[in-house]
Chains A and B, each alone.
Chain A
Amino acid sequence: MTASNPLSFQDIILTLHEYWSSRGCVILQPYDVEVGAGTLHPATVLRALGPKPWRAAYVQPSRRPSDGRHGENPNRLRQFHQYQVILKPNPADMQDLYLASLEAVGIDPTAHDIRFVEDDWENPTVGAWGLGWEVWCDGMEVSQYTYFQQVGGLDVSPVSGELTYGLERLALYVQGVDNVYDLAFNDRQSADFKTYGDVFLENEREFTAFEQEAADTEVLKRQFLEMEAQVPVLLASKGRRGQPLVLPAYDHVLKASHLFNILDARGVIAVAERQSYIGRIRDLCKACAQAWVALESAGA
């Protein structure tokens, strides 16, 4: 609707890669451990800590087991894709950089109503919060824009600016489509044209059934305990250079966190228990954050 031949889902990704690459970002691959949000990729949550400058961009499949709708809801997915940018320290013209990226994907800010609407971001499971906005395009939230203030319970300095584009929402908007499964994944004109549904519908169906119905909660609970127990063990273990094994420990935190999310989707976590689970994950995350800051500050 915004252009005669709007970008496909993958062209939006490629355009953003090109855009942020030319602004000094390392273009990374999605983290290969299940996460609920792009922020949790160690390239954001750990790199936001410590004094070293860092610019990165990547796509992150984000799994939210509770949001699964068996592929039957046109707007809700248990796995969606976030395009994540982290700029540390945030440049003074970060808002302008962001707005230009919207133009790059085909949103003309003089034809649409682009707004920065207060939304303070917080992720209690990783002890992180920041101030910023939801960015609205004609009333639709297309991105989350945050200046991190704390990560892993620690104040950050310098401050990282984080951009999270909801790729499916952005694509729905750019392509003028109402059902996520109808999005053009690649070029609509191509002989090899695929929709988003061709690529991901079966995935939604099976994983919703798994996460909300079939998953064995006893197994999940046991796995959670195992992952949890490994974190302090790994942080106490040393690599060749005498460093704690922060990155492997953090992987275990992510796995514990995802297991918790499935247990939550299975509806077996009582409200009172919920806080305690979140607190345990936060403590593990904080331990990793502290070890990482010590390592970074030591210049390792």
Chain B
Amino acid sequence: MPQLLLELFSEEIPARMQAGAARDLARLARERLAQASLEFSELRTFAGPRRITLVVDGLPAAQADRAEERKGPRIGAPEAALEGFLRSAGVAREALVERDGVYFATLERAGRPTADLIAEMVPAIVRAFPWPKSMTWGSGSLRWVRPLHRILCALDRVVVPLAIDGLESGDISEGHRFMGARVPFRARDFDEYREALAGHFVVLDSEERKRRIVEGARALCEARDLVLVEDEGLLDEVAGMAEWPVPILGQMDPAFLSLPPEVIRTSMRVHQRYFAVRFGDGRLAPHFIAISNIETPDDGELIARGNARVLAARLSDARYFWEEDRRAPLESRLEGLEGMTFHARLGSMRARVARIEALARAIAPALGADPERAALAARLAKADLATAMVGEFPELQGVMGGHYARAEGLDPAIAEAIADHYRPQGPGDSAPSAPLTVAVALADKIDTILGFFSIDEKPTGSRDPFALRRAALGVIRILLESGLRLPLRDMMAASDFKAAGVAEFFADRLKVMLRDKGARHDLVDAVFALGDDDLVRVVARIEALAAFLATEDGANLLAGYKRAGNILAAEAKKGALPQGKPSRAANGPAEEAALFDAIAASRPHIAAALAAEDYPAALTALAALRAPVDAFFDKVLVNSPDLAERANRLALLGEVRDAMGQVADFSLVSA
């Protein structure tokens, strides 16, 4: 079965775009092959620094022949219309069939050779390729991520001739820029191609490049009793920056180890794409791992020295910032925040700090934090934005503030609050729990959310430019993970922003979070409908409710509730429901009196359990209603012809509904 090999060879493709390019190439190829009715057994794509490659195995030599029916004019349509149809379909009048008052022509389509289809498919894929950023070059108008130089396209070991803006296909590719023969080579199928690439010092598969990097780097470290600081994101990036990755261990002047470790690691990672190296006990070691794209006769000695010098220059800069920044206390940086715009309509960073300070002071008591210390931590939380170090390394915001706070001798709890107030910064990051930190972290996030809501910058669909969803989730996680009893409304009331829709926004975020954890959406709704905004309580109710509904009592009581609700709703349609409390019907059926007794008996239990926020107990108390409710429905006719009887029985059902409604809105629970 024929194999298709396609390589698009260009100048260096940004590392961050390569994985997406491999996916897009696979997707576009699948779509086009499906449109052309070409089946295949396997489709693979690869992406690297200078090429993206597609291999499709098990293609047919041609499309299958097929018959295609085409609809023509109505029978009795003007002659000219019919003739036009015959011409365009290329069939004789005798060949038409009539069905449902319409002419149909059957066209026999011979399957086209696969090569012809590929020759059309490749230019279409290239022109439609969704690079995040693309460009034109020279005098041409073709767009690609960087100038495109070669198209290798072979089907069943034969070149598929095609041209895109004058660039013609062939069977030639190139290997490593500097290693090996440095001459183009021919390849007409995947085995030949892969082998030729390896012979020309190119590792085609990004997973293989990653494996070489990790294994090589670990081996270098182990040989010196050091440990590689693994970093998945960096690994993905460096694997996209070298066709022939060669890890190299470099030296760093140990004097730099007096810098905060985050600074060293960030400088290595962000500026130089180096892996950090540590000792067995966790301390950073005065080394780094650089990933070079070349093997040299001196085993990378020259390259290691060059890289070490660059790192030294970077770290000297960082040390200069570290020393300069510590000359002035954080408090003195507040002035610098005046000139920083937080958002055109929400004022300067200084104004934001003032708001966060007020908020932190207001919510601190409920968190068991001292209001004045919370206010101080909040006031200094953003001061590092005006330091040179954070100017150079924005990703160190918070962390540097913490270091500077400790360096100037501030209370460690305040330093910790400054350092950690941006947390949690993602699903993998833990939520802070120290009271001062929580006060600042909540104040920061609440100010962000309310601020943007107040100027109507709410997230919509996939657009959330100010990361408000992450902020809301952060608030929720902080409250839940520490079991903090701080109603959202109380926190929001402490802000000066007036914004609508924030409670619903939080509810939505909590729903998404709970649903992601497997909670039933309807139970979340049923509890939220009560209007409670103490998230700890909300979650406790939802959990208890889920457990209750999983029991037989719970399921049956829910059925009884639904039945009661339906009857009440049906009766309400006929006219206003009777008002007033039910009475114990001494002369009626025993089941009616029994239900009355059961409700009366359950009432204090439910009240006590709710007061104690013991939701499992409240639900157990409700479970006592299950048998009386079932018996009531079995034996008692609600819609009695006796109006007084009817009124009493409806009132009883109303009591059942109200008793249950204290725990959740069961009407929103699906059976």
- List the interface of chain A (C-beta within 8 A of B): 1-2, 73-76, 89-92, 95, 99, 109-118, 120, 130-133, 137-140, 147, 149, 157-159, 161, 173, 178, 270-272
The stretch from B212-220, B290-298, B405-413 touching chain A is B290-298
Q: How far is the CB of B267 from chain A (nearest CB, A)?
A: 12
Determine the chain A residues whose CB is within 8 A of the CB of B303 once the complex forms: 112-113, 138
Residue pairs across A and B with Cβ atoms less than 8 A apart, 10 shown, are A109-B178, A111-B297, A111-B302, A112-B294, A115-B242, A133-B12, A138-B302, A159-B136, A159-B138, A272-B341
Q: Which of B110-162 contact A (CB under 8 A)?
A: 133, 135-139, 141, 145-147, 149
Check if B292 sits within 8 Å of A113, measured CB to CB. yes
Determine the chain B residues whose CB is within 8 A of the CB of A270 once the complex forms: 338-339
Check if B296 sits within 8 Å of A111, measured CB to CB. yes
The stretch from B36-44, B309-317, B435-443, B456-464 touching chain A is B309-317
Q: How far is the CB of B555 from chain A (nearest CB, A)?
A: 59
In the assembled complex, B74 has its CB within 8 A of some CB on chain A: no
In the assembled complex, B269 has its CB within 8 A of some CB on chain A: no
Residue in A89, A110, A116, A139 whose CB lies within 8 Å of B310 = A139
Check if A147 sits within 8 Å of B307, measured CB to CB. no
Determine the chain A residues whose CB is within 8 A of the CB of B290 once the complex forms: 113, 139
Q: A92-B149, A271-B339 are in contact. Are A114 and B178 (CB under 8 A)?
A: yes
Check if A75 sits within 8 Å of B313, measured CB to CB. yes
A272 to B340, CA, bound (A): 7
Residue in B298, B316, B317 whose CB lies within 8 Å of A111 = B298
Determine the chain A residues whose CB is within 8 A of the CB of B15 once the complex forms: 118
Q: How far is the CB of B220 from chain A (nearest CB, A)?
A: 16
Q: How far is the CB of B393 from chain A (nearest CB, A)?
A: 17
Check if B139 sits within 8 Å of A271, measured CB to CB. no
Residue in A91, A157, A173, A272 whose CB lies within 8 Å of B306 = A173
Determine the chain A residues whose CB is within 8 A of the CB of B292 once the complex forms: 113
In the assembled complex, B241 has its CB within 8 A of some CB on chain A: yes
A181 to B610, CA, bound (A): 78
Check if A138 sits within 8 Å of B12, measured CB to CB. no
Determine the chain A residues whose CB is within 8 A of the CB of B178 once the complex forms: 109-110, 114
Check if A91 sits within 8 Å of B138, measured CB to CB. yes
Give the interface residue-count category, chain B.
35 or more
Residue in B16, B141, B274 whose CB lies within 8 Å of A118 = B16
Check if A157 sits within 8 Å of B317, measured CB to CB. no
Q: How far is the CB of B1 from chain A (nearest CB, A)?
A: 37
Q: A138-B310, A139-B272 are in contact. Are A116 and B138 (CB under 8 A)?
A: no
Determine the chain B residues whose CB is within 8 A of the CB of A113 once the complex forms: 290, 292-294, 300, 303, 306
In the assembled complex, B434 has its CB within 8 A of some CB on chain A: no
Residue in A109, A130, A178 whose CB lies within 8 Å of B309 = A178
Report whether over half of chain B's contact residues are helix, strand or loop; otherwise say mixed.
loop
A155 and chain B: residue at smallest CB distance:
B136
A178 and chain B: residue at smallest CB distance:
B309
The 6 closest A-B pairs by CB, nearest first: A138-B306, A118-B14, A116-B12, A139-B307, A113-B292, A158-B139
A131 to B12, CA, bound (A): 11
A290 to B313, CA, bound (A): 42
A270 to B349, CA, bound (A): 13
Determine the chain B residues whose CB is within 8 A of the CB of A111 once the complex forms: 296-298, 302
Determine the chain A residues whose CB is within 8 A of the CB of B323 once the complex forms: none
A74 to B303, CA, bound (A): 22
Determine the chain A residues whose CB is within 8 A of the CB of B298 once the complex forms: 111
Q: How far is the CB of A122 from chain B (nearest CB, A)?
A: 12
Determine the chain B residues whose CB is within 8 A of the CB of A110 once the complex forms: 178-179, 294, 296
In the assembled complex, B210 has its CB within 8 A of some CB on chain A: no
Report whether over half of chain A's contact residues are helix, strand or loop; otherwise say mixed.
loop
Q: A92-B149, A109-B178 are in contact. List 19 more A-B contacts (CB 8 A).
A: A89-B138, A111-B296, A113-B292, A114-B177, A114-B178, A115-B293, A117-B12, A118-B14, A130-B135, A131-B133, A138-B303, A139-B311, A140-B310, A147-B147, A159-B137, A178-B312, A270-B339, A271-B339, A272-B341
In the assembled complex, B320 has its CB within 8 A of some CB on chain A: yes
A162 to B622, CA, bound (A): 78
In the assembled complex, B496 has its CB within 8 A of some CB on chain A: no
A90 to B138, CA, bound (A): 5
Determine the chain B residues whose CB is within 8 A of the CB of A99 once the complex forms: 177
Q: A75-B313, A118-B16, A271-B341 are in contact. Are A139 and B139 (CB under 8 A)?
A: no
Q: How far is the CB of A72 from chain B (nearest CB, A)?
A: 10
In the assembled complex, B11 has its CB within 8 A of some CB on chain A: yes
Check if A149 sits within 8 Å of B136, measured CB to CB. yes
Determine the chain A residues whose CB is within 8 A of the CB of B177 once the complex forms: 99, 109, 114
Binary A-proximity of B299-341 (CB < 8 A = 1, otherwise 0):
0101101110111110011001000000000000000001111
Determine the chain B residues whose CB is within 8 A of the CB of A131 once the complex forms: 133, 135, 145-146
Residue in B135, B147, B302, B311 whose CB lies within 8 Å of A112 = B302
Determine the chain B residues whose CB is within 8 A of the CB of A2 once the complex forms: 302
A190 to B652, CA, bound (A): 111
Residue in B11, B133, B145, B341 whose CB lies within 8 Å of A116 = B11
Residue in B133, B136, B293, B297 whose CB lies within 8 Å of A157 = B136
Q: How far is the CB of A23 from chain B (nearest CB, A)?
A: 16
Determine the chain B residues whose CB is within 8 A of the CB of A159 once the complex forms: 135-139
Interface-central residue, A99, A116, A137, by most chain B CB under 10 Å:
A116
Check if A95 sits within 8 Å of B11, measured CB to CB. yes
Check if B137 sits within 8 Å of A147, measured CB to CB. yes
Check if B138 sits within 8 Å of A158, measured CB to CB. yes
A270 to B320, CA, bound (A): 24
Determine the chain B residues whose CB is within 8 A of the CB of A118 once the complex forms: 12, 14-16
Determine the chain B residues whose CB is within 8 A of the CB of A161 once the complex forms: 137
A179 to B404, CA, bound (A): 30
Check if B293 sits within 8 Å of A271, measured CB to CB. no
A42 to B297, CA, bound (A): 45
Q: How far is the CB of A181 from chain B (nearest CB, A)?
A: 14
A115 to B320, CA, bound (A): 28
Check if B306 sits within 8 Å of A90, measured CB to CB. no
Q: A115-B241, A138-B303 are in contact. Are A120 and B294 (CB under 8 A)?
A: no
Q: How far is the CB of B140 from chain A (nearest CB, A)?
A: 8
Determine the chain A residues whose CB is within 8 A of the CB of B300 once the complex forms: 113
Check if B179 sits within 8 Å of A147, measured CB to CB. no
A114 to B296, CA, bound (A): 12
Q: How far is the CB of B239 from chain A (nearest CB, A)?
A: 13
Q: How far is the CB of B344 from chain A (nearest CB, A)?
A: 8
Determine the chain B residues whose CB is within 8 A of the CB of A120 once the complex forms: 133
A1 to B308, CA, bound (A): 14
Determine the chain B residues whose CB is within 8 A of the CB of A157 once the complex forms: 136, 139, 141
Determine the chain B residues whose CB is within 8 A of the CB of A272 once the complex forms: 339, 341
A270 to B138, CA, bound (A): 41
Interface-central residue, A109, A113, A118, A140, by most chain B CB under 10 Å:
A113
Check if B306 sits within 8 Å of A140, measured CB to CB. yes
A84 to B505, CA, bound (A): 53
A91 to B341, CA, bound (A): 44
A112 to B301, CA, bound (A): 10
A135 to B254, CA, bound (A): 28
Q: How far is the CB of A108 from chain B (nearest CB, A)?
A: 9
Q: Which of B260-310 contact A (CB under 8 A)?
A: 272, 274, 290, 292-294, 296-298, 300, 302-303, 305-307, 309-310
Determine the chain B residues whose CB is within 8 A of the CB of A173 once the complex forms: 306
Check if B340 sits within 8 Å of A92, measured CB to CB. no
A76 to B297, CA, bound (A): 34
Determine the chain A residues whose CB is within 8 A of the CB of B293 once the complex forms: 113-115
Q: How far is the CB of B587 from chain A (nearest CB, A)?
A: 82
A130 to B303, CA, bound (A): 30
Residue in A75, A91, A139 whose CB lies within 8 Å of B317 = A75
Check if B311 sits within 8 Å of A147, measured CB to CB. no
A192 to B350, CA, bound (A): 56
